Amino acid sequence: MRSRRDFNTRWTESEPQEGTKENTVTAFGNYINGEFVDSESGKTFPNINPANIDEVVGTFQSSNEADVAVACAAATAAQEQWAATPATKRGEYLFKAADLLTEKLPQLGEEMTREEGKTLPEAIGEVTRAINIFRYFGGEGARQFSLNVPSERPQVLCYTIRKPLGTVALITPWNFPSAIPAWKLAPALIAGNTVVLKPASLAPLSSFRLVAALHEAGIPKGVINYITGSGGSVGDALTSNPAINGISFTGSTSVGDALYRKVSDRKLRIQLEMGGKNPTIVLKDSDLNYAADILINGAFFSTGQKCTACSRAIIERPIYDQLVPILIEKTRALKIGNGLQPGIQIGPAVDSHQLETDLEYIKIAKDEGAELLYGGNRLSGGDFDKGYFIEPTIFAGVTPNMRIAQEEVFGPVLGLMVAEDFESAMEIANGVRFGLSASIVSRDLTRVHQFIEKIEAGLITVNLPTAGVEYQLPFGGTKESSYGMREQGPQAIDFYSETRTVYLRYVH
């Protein structure tokens, strides 16, 4: 029997009441048709703190096909009315939710650190970004421009209008558990779509908070629906449901590829943001301290668990021997631990599987002949024994054909590669199947422009880390990193809307 949870006072009470407390662990509901409800399955799963695996951050619904069907039906039923609501009015719900999230910023940051492991400053920064995204797309309600061009014919007006897709499925990963759901939810809603959101099972609380804020902001029932549960069951049922008119997915390349194959027969609009193997090229004119900081930020912050993380440092030979010791010293100085503690710069791997993957790739790199310069081990002793901590790791002697140079690890593992000159650096940088982000460190304007021209990446940074993007610009990769239209920035609306072209003769 589906039960209703009353969340209506949560944002105003000093002690949040987000669900029922069972043995001091809070149980969180699905959110379907404007109500917080249990799954039909009657089962839940735990959300574990990766820095302290004894701590259950909360339990979440193990949803099933029946829950998906109800959520999709609710979203479909609400869509026409939502699309008929003026876009500026739709934006008001996003503004109000942004205000509510801002009031709770310290709490939300702490919760994210506890469910995902990133440091508190990183988590606060991410929630702030989600808030900014809500505000930005709230404003887009008044800025959904269309084309109006002269006709070839007399007394004819030619212009375009936008129509929402209908009901869209949003499937998100664990590594940005607030920002990524926000950057899908907000443009989908402002364009007039209703949504069913399925967050990653490893970090569902942060997106629950976004949904709860929109609920508290008074968004009409059925417009947003949130269901948790495994990708194999909930994700599969959601992407198979005929009510879904579009899918926005961020996650691994393997799941993205499978989704693409699955929906291509239906010619469903789909957007896939997937893995990367992002390079930083360091040219010989660089300031070495500065270059080392850029590499460390890109490779190790957030435990290397960013799709835009740098995993290949391509260094011009004349500076290689000087840069490497600086890089190692700075890496040695990094503070690793529970991200809630002040001064910690790197938290744990998100779970035991990711930790095993990191260690497995470290072994593969050694077996293939790369030279371990720093790190390479799981951290143990004291508080490290409570979580999935791993040393930031640097390999030298990495060659382009090694798996460590070609495959995404998604951990704090950096491969150093030597380039004889700029041209060979570019060849190495482009010699992978991915093309998400890429950076260069140099003061040589000509080389920088050649890099911007020739690098095969959707996100290009100069004298900045590969990671660290802003919400007001389009986001996405090229090659096998991405498929479909861009996310974020004004272009995000394009995915969530269809263009209709009007030819109107005003006399006859």
Query: Where along the sequence are the contacts to ligand NAP (CB under 6 A)?
Result: 171-176, 198, 200-202, 230-232, 235-236, 239, 250-252, 255, 273-276, 307, 408, 410, 436, 477, 481
- Fill in the amino acid letter for 61: Q
Residue recorded with tokens 């006072």: 9
> Could you tell me whether strands 278-282 and 310-316 are parallel, antiparallel, or unpaired per DSSP bridges?
parallel
307 catalytically annotated = yes
- Contact predicate 100/210, CB 8 Å: no
Q: How far is the CB of 423 from ligand NAP (least distance, A)?
A: 28
Crossing angle of helices 87-103 and 179-190, rounded to 10°? 160
Residue 132 tokens read as 């900014």
Nearer to ligand NAP, 286 or 308 (CB): 308
Comparing CB distances to ligand NAP, the nearer of 58 and 251 is: 251
Assign 3-state DSSP to the chain and report helix, strand, coil percentages, each to 5.
40, 25, 40
Q: How far is the CB of 219 from ligand NAP (least distance, A)?
A: 22
Q: How far is the CB of 115 from ligand NAP (least distance, A)?
A: 12
Catalytic residue among 72, 111, 140, 307: 307
Torsion of CA 497, 175, 346, 373, to 10 degrees: -100
User: 296 by DSSP, 3-state: which?
Assistant: helix
Cβ nearer to ligand NAP, comparing 251 with 298: 251
CB of 276 to ligand NAP, least distance (A): 6
> Is 273 annotated as catalytic?
yes
Determine the Cα–Cα distance for residues 29 and 33; give it in Å rounded to an integer: 12
**Minimum CB separation from ligand NAP for residue 495, in Å?**
13
Whole-number CA gyration radius for the chain: 24
- Which tokens is 472 given? 């007001």
Measured from each CB, the residue nearest to ligand NAP is 231
Pairing of strands 224-226, 278-282: unpaired
Return phi, psi of residue 207, to 5°: -80, -30
Residue 200 φ/ψ, nearest 5 degrees: -65, 145
What angle (nearest 5°) sits at the alpha carbon of residue 136, between those of residues 130 and 141? 130
Output the smallest distance, CB 306 to ligand NAP, in A.
Answer: 7
Count of C-beta atoms within a 10 Å radius of residue 40: 18
Q: How far apart are CA 424 and CA 339, in angstroms?
A: 39
CB of 486 to ligand NAP, least distance (A): 10
Are 188 and 195 contacting, i.e. CB atoms less than 8 angstroms apart?
Answer: yes
Six token digits for residue 191: 């364009």
Asked if 43 contacts 62 with a C-beta cutoff of 8 angstroms, the reply is yes
All residues at 6 or more sequence positions from 267 whose CB lies less than 8 Å from its CB, including other chains: none
Number of C-beta neighbours around residue 325 at 10 A = 12
**Rounded least distance, CB 359 to ligand NAP, Å:** 17
State whether residue 317 is helix, strand or coil: helix
Q: Which two tokens stand for residue 82?
A: 């939502």
Q: Is 232 exposed, middle or buried (0-12, 13-18, 19+ CB in 10 A)?
A: exposed
* Comparison of 252 and 430: residue with beta carbon closer to ligand NAP: 252
Q: Which is nearer to ligand NAP, 174 or 451 (CB)?
A: 174
Nearer Cβ to ligand NAP, position 286 or 488?
488
Nearer of residues 245 and 442 to ligand NAP, judged by Cβ: 245
- Give whichever of 32 and 200 is closer to ligand NAP, judged by the CB atom: 200
- Write down the catalytic residue from 111, 116, 273, 316: 273
Tell me the catalytic residues. Answer: 273, 307
